[in-house]
Amino acid sequence: MKNKQFSHYDIIGDIHGHADALIRLLNKMGYQTNPDGIYAHPDRLAVFLGDYIDRGPQQSQVVNIVKSMVEYGSALAIMGNHEFNAICYHSSHPETGKPLRKHNKQTLKQHQAFLKEYPLAKKDTRAIINWFKTLPVFIEFDEFRVIHACWNETALESIEPLLKTGNRLTQELLLKAGTPDTNEFYAIETLLKGLEIALPEGNLFYDKDGSPRTHIRVKWWQNDAATYRDYALLPDSSLNDISNMPLAKTILKPEYNNAKPVLFGHYWFTGKPQIQKDNVACLDYSLGNEEKLVCYQWNKGDKKLSNDQFVIVDHYE
CA 40-143-165 angle, to 5 degrees, is 75
Give, as one character, the DSSP assignment of residue 201: T
Give the C-alpha separation, 69 to 29, whole Å. Answer: 15
Q: Which fold, 8-178+260-314? A: Purple Acid Phosphatase; chain A, domain 2 (3.60.21)
CA 310-22-71 angle, to 5 degrees, is 105
Proportion of the chain above pLDDT 90, given as a percent? 85
pLDDT at 136: 98
What residue spans in the chain does CATH classification 3.60.21.10 cover? 8-178+260-314
Proportion of the chain above pLDDT 70, given as a percent? 100
Q: Could you tell me which of 24, 110, 23, 16 has the C-alpha nearest to residue 57?
A: 16
Q: What is the pLDDT of residues 22-76, one digit of tens each?
A: 999 999 999 999 999 999 999 999 999 999 999 999 999 999 999 999 999 999 9
Q: Which residues of 114-141 are buried (b: 16+ CB within 10 A; e: fewer)?
A: bbebbeeeeeebeebbebbbebbbbbeb
pLDDT at 257: 79
Give how far Cα 68 sits from Cα of 34, 46, 265, Å. Answer: 11, 12, 21
- Higher model confidence: residue 301 or residue 317? 301
Three-state secondary structure call for residue 313: strand
Give how far Cα 44 sits from Cα of 21, 25, 202, 214, Å. Answer: 19, 14, 50, 43
CA 290-276-7 angle, to 5 degrees, is 85
Query: Distance between terminal CA atoms of the chain?
Result: 31
User: If you average pLDDT over residues 94-123, what whole number do you get?
Assistant: 95
